[in-house]
Structure 1
Amino acid sequence: MTAPVLKPYTAADRPWLVEAHGRLYARDEGFDESFPALVDEILRGFEAGHDPAREAGWIAWQSGRRLGSIFCVRLDDDTAKLRLFLLDPAARGKGLGRHLLDTCMAFARARGYRRMTLWTHESHRAACALYARNGFACISATPVRSFGVELVEQHWERAL
């Protein structure tokens, strides 16, 4: 089996990314259909108006199969936002998540961002542990009802 390769996101990846988010988050978190609809909206916005000089998305591929994604988008001149970080369960625990995160942070640094922020939920324990191991700090946690379930929404940040 070949090692995973990161390829730039294209619109052809959108159906897979929307479906994978919807399926995995429904199975693992109980999220309703509003979540894949949000993912679709985010991706369509990215396709329509992202700045390729300061924003990028990557899809991890291995043996002709998509395994994950990560995006770096502009929040403001100094702050990049990590978005749509996803790993197929079969790809977890093998270092691919770290590789995706490293790629995203290196891109942000190279584009002059000074900070990176992200939004997640407390229930995503493995992702939160990865963020903490890589210098992110949880700066806020708020109980919310989103995607049909009770959650604790978190915002994380780190200097680049």
Structure 2
Amino acid sequence: MTSIALTPYTPADRPWLVEAHGRLYAEAEGFDQSFPRLVDEILQGFEAAHDPTCEHGWIARDAGQPLGSIFCVRQEDETAKLRLFLLLPEARGKGLGQRLLDRCMGFAREAGYRRMTLWTHESHRAACALYARNGFSCLRSTPVQNFSVALVEQQWERPL
């Protein structure tokens, strides 16, 4: 996986990222079309207003082909938020998720954040295990109805 490049997100990546999120979450969890619309809104907001000194997005690429993404955005002065962490199924289990997470957390530390938070779903067992191995703690789990399915949303956090 070391030949895979982690490149900065650009607006040209948005169509792929929206489509990949929509397709993978529909297949794996039955999410409706409100989910890719939300991803598109998040990315449009990032493109319009992110501060590159403390917010960044990366796309993992193999020979130019996108395999995954991760974003670090400002939640509060001392708190970074991890967003849009995605790996295509063919890229999973090879250490790429750890590489992306390491890059994101390293950037957050360099930007001066003191902690990182994220939201995920309990059903994302591999991602939750990765977060736990990297010092994140689950602060709360809340049953919700989102994207036309019953989910258990979780908030995780760790000091940096």
TM-score, L = length of structure 2: 0.99
RMSD over equivalenced CA pairs, Å: 1.0
Task: Note if contact 1:114-1:159 (Cα within 8 Å) is conserved in structure 2.
Answer: yes
Aligned identity (percent) is: 75
Distance 2:81 2:151 in 1: 21
Q: Report the 3-state secondary structure (helix = DSSP H, G, I; strand = E; otherwise coil) of the residue aligned with 1:46.
A: helix
Unmatched tracts of structure 1, length 5 or more: none
Question: Segments of 4+ in structure 1 off by > 3 A?
Answer: none
Note if 1:46 corresponds to 2:10. Answer: no
Matching residue's letter, 1:155: Q
Note if 1:152 corresponds to 2:152. Answer: yes
CA displacement, residues 48-106 of structure 1 (integer Å, 9 cap, x when unaligned): 00000000000000022100000000001000000000000000000000000000000
Unmatched tracts of structure 2, length 5 or more: none
2:116 matched residue in structure 1: 116
Distance 1:85 1:64 in 2: 19
Task: Note if contact 1:2-1:62 (Cα within 8 Å) is conserved in structure 2.
Answer: no
Note if 1:12 corresponds to 2:15. Answer: no
TM-score, L = length of structure 1: 0.99
